Structure 1
Amino acid sequence: MRESTIFRNQWVVLALLLLLCLGVGALGGLATSSAIESWYRTLAKPSWTPPDWLFGPVWTLLYIMMAVAAWLVWKTRDRIGPAMALFAVQLALNLAWSFLFFGARSPGLAFIELVMLWVAVLLTMLAFFGRSTAAGLLFVPYLAWVSFAGALNFAIWTLN
């Protein structure tokens, strides 16, 4: 099967992956923004909770890193199907978390889903390492942030 002309240009693919990842971030932001003032600020949180303003820039950088990592894997063209499938799964789980935690206002359900996200991010990172060391390394901060987010999510769940 011939590859579509649009996917032959590596810069177009990078742009599409950036749009996809940042689009997921924007969709998650829709669920998040309405709940920050009305709900999130009323929750008991641990003392080590970062300030609200930090989340946006961190997630934006992580989404850019995810897109670049996926692009590096795509460029290898070497058995990328499983790695890209894992990438899609973790991206969907990433989006779902925002809707569970902020949209449904359910820290418990969001934590359970975050455990699945953590596993998906780990598996994606390992699959990416198998295709491109740089791509795998770009996922290390993401896994670290999801680990931190998991601890924070769990603490918020137990405090409330």
Structure 2
Amino acid sequence: MEGVPSWAPAVAFTLFPNAGSIWGSRMAKKATSTWYESLEKPSWHPPNWVFPPVWGALYSSMGYGSYLVWKELGGFNEKSMVPLGLYAGHLALNWSWTPVFFGNHKIGWGLVTLLLTAGAATATTTVWYHVNKTAAYLLYPYLAWLTFASVLNYRIWKDNQSKKHV
């Protein structure tokens, strides 16, 4: 990649997942002050201000991990198709949760989306581990957060089934 500074791919890969979440964060912010506030949530639900910085850190971490895999495998090529394809698929699932949950107010389908995301992220982590261990390790906090988010989503779904929010 002639003419591109050596640091540019690392920055681009790191920022990419964050850029994709901008649309979703606007949707979530709008719904949080109205629909989401009307839902019953467990006592252990984190305050709303926690979610943006946590997601920002997780997106940056997974983005940098994708850069490490891309670099290790020599860019976009046949060898990187599966590791980066799994990553792209899981990221698409991740980004789809917000429109499902906040946009369409489908709590149960949000849970299904989260569980699919967690499965795809687990597959991504497993494949990345065989390419670049550091990249895989960068996904561990994300997997932990997806587990927490899935339990939280389940509890919100369960506690609000009598409402028309499911």
- Provide TM-score, normalisation by structure 2: 0.89
The answer as to whether partners of 1:10 and 1:75 remain within 8 angstroms in 2 is: no
Q: Does 1:39 align with 2:35?
A: yes
The answer as to whether partners of 2:13 and 2:63 remain within 8 angstroms in 1 is: yes
RMSD: 1.4
Structure 1 pair 115–40 and aligned structure 2 pair: CA distance change class (3 A): same
The answer as to whether partners of 1:66 and 1:138 remain within 8 angstroms in 2 is: yes
Select the residue among 36, 53, 64 that pairs with 2:60.
64
Counterparts of 2:115 and 2:2, CA distance in 1 = 38
Counterparts of 2:122 and 2:155, CA distance in 1 = 22
Structure 2 unmatched ranges of 5 or more = 161-166
Task: Note the alpha carbon deviations across 1:64-118, whole angstroms, 9 max, x for none.
Answer: 1011100111111162220000110111111000110101111111111111101
- Aligned residue number for residue 125 of structure 1: 125
Offset of residue 27 of structure 1:
2.0
Q: Flag as ranges the 4+ runs of structure 1 deviating above 6 A.
A: none
Counterparts of 2:138 and 2:23, CA distance in 1 = 22
The answer as to whether partners of 2:14 and 2:67 remain within 8 angstroms in 1 is: no
Structure 1 unmatched ranges of 5 or more = none
Q: Does 1:29 align with 2:35?
A: no
How many residue pairs get matched? 156
Counterparts of 2:12 and 2:31, CA distance in 1 = 29
